[in-house]
Structure 1
Amino acid sequence: MITPCWPAPPGVKAVCSTREGGYSEQPYHSLNLGAHVGDNPERVKHNRLQFQQMAAMPSQPVWLEQVHGTRCLTLTHNIAAGVQADACFSRQPGVVCSVMTADCLPLLLCNRAGTEVAAVHAGWRGLCNGIIENTLQLFSQPSDCIAWLGPAISQQAFEVGPEVRDAFIKHAPLATSAFIAGQKGKWLADLYMLARQRLEHCGINAIFGGEFCTYQQSETFFSYRRDGQTGRMASAIWRQ
């Protein structure tokens, strides 16, 4: 597993899984945490328990039904799996906020006092449409947050159509710098840069992580764009 390297307060714990250390067989080998990708449900159940135990979590992670939207769910207690949202926020100790990814950007947030935490699933649609901004609105002082960017697809591997670039630039002309011209009218998009721009626009300058590539690091991470049928990692954060 990956422990974020960021100056989170002592009472805030965070972790990100890799594809290693679980029970699933190919093409989900091996720590697949996604129950919606066609894997054996019992293996997923064992993997989720393994993840919880390895990270010494105080409770089960909250498993959202992610729909590439912009809803952030406020958690006051653990909820049943399957609630539609692409981010979750909590002030309650012992509640584990989590999101699943396999190329999209997982973003973890906390305030400097360690009293508020959030996990965000930022695919390009959610990122473009305001999932980061919607989540930050729930914090008492959004500009007082620190952020960690977890494993996502890198710019070299993330080819998108011109409509994606146009949508980001329509929101903010600065987004032009996050795209490199590709082949046949396509563009290479930098999810990490796009997320940093949105965070900085919200007044957040303490931004860490962003050094991974799920597509290229095939031994460590699942990648939907690389493999199609594959598993999911999870990024989680909680207050002790």
Structure 2
Amino acid sequence: MNDWLIPDWPAPAGIKSCVTTREGGVSLAPFDALNLGDHVDDDPQAVASNRLHLTSTLNVRPAWLKQVHGLGVTQADPTRVVEADASWTATPGIACTIMTADCLPALFCTLDGARVAAAHAGWRGLASGILEATADSLGVPPEQIMVWLGPAIGQQSFEVGPEVREAFISLHPHTAEAFIPSENPGRFMADLYALGRLRLAAHGVTDVYGGGFDTFTDPRFYSYRRSPRNGRFASLIWIDRA
């Protein structure tokens, strides 16, 4: 598995999760090497090979999504690509799978291990409520949900305009603490991890782990802000077949 990440969180027995890195694939620069995105102008055969490597390495059936920075949550289905930004499943061996390159990947599971979900949360998705919608898809009270926040752009690298800050604080004033003034007047440095935790907590989900990454400065990961012509890595969660 090269240097792929195994999330460090107290998930129930039988819940498996993984985050890929750039290592282990066949894509050429600037997509080198394990690009899993089929929408970034990489060689389609290379992407197909990379996805096959992922599938065989983890022994799962990934359910890919067409992510649109929206609020759609769908049941994970490996046989088709659905336009949505989160998926859930209760079927062992099917992996809820999202691709990112700076946006926040969030992996969910119920405390009884009966259902899992994964969400793609850029700032637009966070502001719109994609994490809350994903939590609701699990069909249990929020206090029975556990979340792990994966590699995303860090606050020190994520400068945004005042409209981004306003999109959050207009409805959730307490999220103002996730923004600090930038060196550039009128702009702010946004903390996606803090925003995720704050919005989840307001929804009743407080059992949250992960964070602390910065895809912009960490060469293991693709970063759109570092280089717009780039690949995508994947975050997956599934229920083990065993």
**TM-score under structure 1 length normalisation:** 0.95
The gaps in structure 2 that reach 5 residues or longer are none
Query: What is the letter of the counterpart of residue 32 of structure 2?
Result: H
Match of 1:35 among 18, 34, 38: 38
Q: What percentage of aligned pairs have identical amino acids?
A: 48
Are 2:197 and 1:208 aligned? no
* SS of aligned partner of 1:152: coil
Q: Which residue of 2 aligns with 1:109?
A: 108
The gaps in structure 1 that reach 5 residues or longer are none
Q: Which residue of 2 aligns with 1:12?
A: 15
Are 2:121 and 1:118 aligned? no
Q: Which residue of 2 aligns with 1:72?
A: 73
- What does the per-residue CA deviation read over 1:173-214, in whole Å, with 9 as the maximum and x for residues that have no partner? 111100011113111000000000011112222211102110
Say if 2:102 and 2:216, in contact at 8 Å, map to a contact too.
Answer: yes
Are 2:134 and 1:131 aligned? no
How far 1:143 sits from its partner (Å)?
A: 2.0
Q: For this pair of structures, how many residues does the alignment match?
A: 235
Are 2:181 and 1:187 aligned? no
Q: Which residue of 2 aligns with 1:164?
A: 164
* Runs ≥4 residues deviating over 6 A: none
Are 2:224 and 1:221 aligned? no
How far 1:142 sits from its partner (Å)?
A: 2.5
Query: What is the letter of the counterpart of residue 31 of structure 1?
Result: L
- What does the per-residue CA deviation read over 1:71-105, in whole Å, with 9 as the maximum and x for residues that have no partner? 11023x43312x10000011122221110000000
* SS of aligned partner of 1:225: coil
How far 1:217 sits from its partner (Å)?
A: 0.6
Say if 2:64 and 2:78, in contact at 8 Å, map to a contact too.
Answer: no
Task: Quote the Cα distance in structure 2 between the aligned partners of 1:209 and 1:161.
Answer: 26
Task: Quote the Cα distance in structure 1 between the aligned partners of 2:66 and 2:173.
Answer: 32
Query: What is the letter of the counterpart of residue 13 of structure 2?
Result: P
Task: Quote the Cα distance in structure 2 between the aligned partners of 1:138 and 1:89.
Answer: 7
Query: What is the letter of the counterpart of residue 180 of structure 2?
Result: I
Say if 2:69 and 2:124, in contact at 8 Å, map to a contact too.
Answer: yes
Query: What is the letter of the counterpart of residue 206 of structure 2?
Result: N
- What does the per-residue CA deviation read over 1:122-166, in whole Å, with 9 as the maximum and x for residues that have no partner? 000011001011111122222211110000000010011100000
- What does the per-residue CA deviation read over 1:5-64, in whole Å, with 9 as the maximum and x for residues that have no partner? 00111111110101111100100010000000000000001111111222232x2x1110
Query: What is the letter of the counterpart of residue 232 of structure 1?
Result: R
